[in-house]
Structure 1
Amino acid sequence: MALTVLRLRHFSDGRYRWVATAQTVFDVLAVAAPVLVINSVAGVPLWPSAVLALLSASTRHKLTGVLIAWTVVATAVVTGALLGEGAPDSPHGAGVVLAIAVLLVASATAGAQARSLDRYVAELQNARLAMTRQARTDTLTGTANRLALDEHEAALPPGPVSLVLLDLDGFKTVNDTYGHHAGDLLLKTVATRLQSQLRAEDLLVRLGGDEFVIVLPGLPADEVDTVIRRWVRAVADPVPIGDGTVRVGVSVGVAHRPVNDDARFADLLRTADRRMYHDKHAKGVPQGMERISALE
């Protein structure tokens, strides 16, 4: 109890399981010992106080723990009754059986309710985690979204990082020619191909439409061009659409944050965006009027 008051015991602490077990043991012994002593010496039935220890055990260790606690308390009640045989008002016979039965019912009820509550809390936690993931995930491609990008920036340790902005060339033509279903399929395929090319520490984000950004922490700037060429080839591979295939290109803009630089992602994105549109225009793909690289 002192640990709880001092906030030194919390379920998220790795020691919680052992501290909670120790506390349950002490709770049960603190009740069982007086029951044993006072029953045997004075013949005063204290077994109703055992309910407090049983509730403590059910809270921390559910049904299994409370049944173990009940076994200890019931043993103390029986032993106290046997040792106190002949003492004034000493409980024995039917009184002891009734006490044990009542404690058993209390144990089973408390343990079952605690286990049910534990399952309910676990379901709530799973639902919360699922909602959290959904809020940070692009529903179409399964990649991270803008919210996840902001949180990733906040959690990323200081150091060099590169942001690569990718914009598909020809996506609008695919949408207009084959419909939005084909465009969605194309985006999901591109996202899957890009994700397969990334390291565990990299983050792929769909900014919206046909724009993706990839966060590359700790990758030397002179190696970024190599991985970008690999991405461009992966994106350019034909994508089956209906009875045929489509092939799209990609325009790229890169921004680097060197060591000891405090540039924010927003600044890097603006730089990458300018360079991406410069790349698009250099290839003769006007903004808003992209052409498809090839239709097969």
Structure 2
Amino acid sequence: MRLFIDAAVFRAGTSRAAALLGVVLVSATLAGCANDKDVMAPDEPAEKIYNEGLTLLNKGDLDGAAKRFEDIDKTHPYSEWARKALLMDTYVYYEAGKYDDAISAGKRYLALHPGSQDAPYVSYLVASSLYDSIPDISRDQRRTRQALDALDDVIRKYPNTEYAAGAKRKVEVARDQLAGKEMLIGRYYLEQRNYTGAINRFKVVITQYQTTRQTEEALFRITEAYMALGIVNEAQTAAAVLGYNYPDSQWYKDAFKLVQSKGLLPQENKASWISQAFKKLGVG
């Protein structure tokens, strides 16, 4: 069995979380094992330290649990207990919101134990740590791109696992975030009447993030920009593609009015890059 403890489930304290946590519990009785000592006995067994870490984790003492798992790495670095402890450290750091520490521990685990049965779970924890630390859309999106790469890696390497399913859901959000960043910059350029710069940003959304919720607005904004430049055939195409794929969209209604204000109607030029971008994905 694999260790997979969903954060929300674990915090809720459900019976399922208890059952999953039991996967990593050793057969030794845990009662009375935990203590608050900061100093280890020189010959303290790895199994005892590990069990103390699990007990502290059950009590919600994430910092204490992390320390005990770290202690195993220091005192029994080449043991199987050290491997298990590094796995648990990755999980505990993630639960504590210490995402950089979780990423560091997870990457170390994968470097040391790439063929482990828990490698898919650790890969998912690393990707989730990147994902959960995605910054606000107004900031640099380097972490979002890293998250997307890590999530795609989980999907590619472990396609038939529950981790791949979870990663796919996160991928859509990460892609929407990157598309949203392009839209933010594109709207700024549009306000500054830098129409070429705006078109380049909206083009990224249309060609690279076409399945996100940003696409409808991108098609309208690019209609605006082309109309402002007097490139009416591309504006008509953008409006036509918008109407074909999103006929009930308010963005289409606005694009229709904009084109119509110049005595024109939406009309697709199938040779346009806009039309071709949608044809490549079988849309439109």
TM-score by length of 1: 0.28
Which has more radius of gyration? 1
Structure (1 or 2) with the greater helix fraction: 2
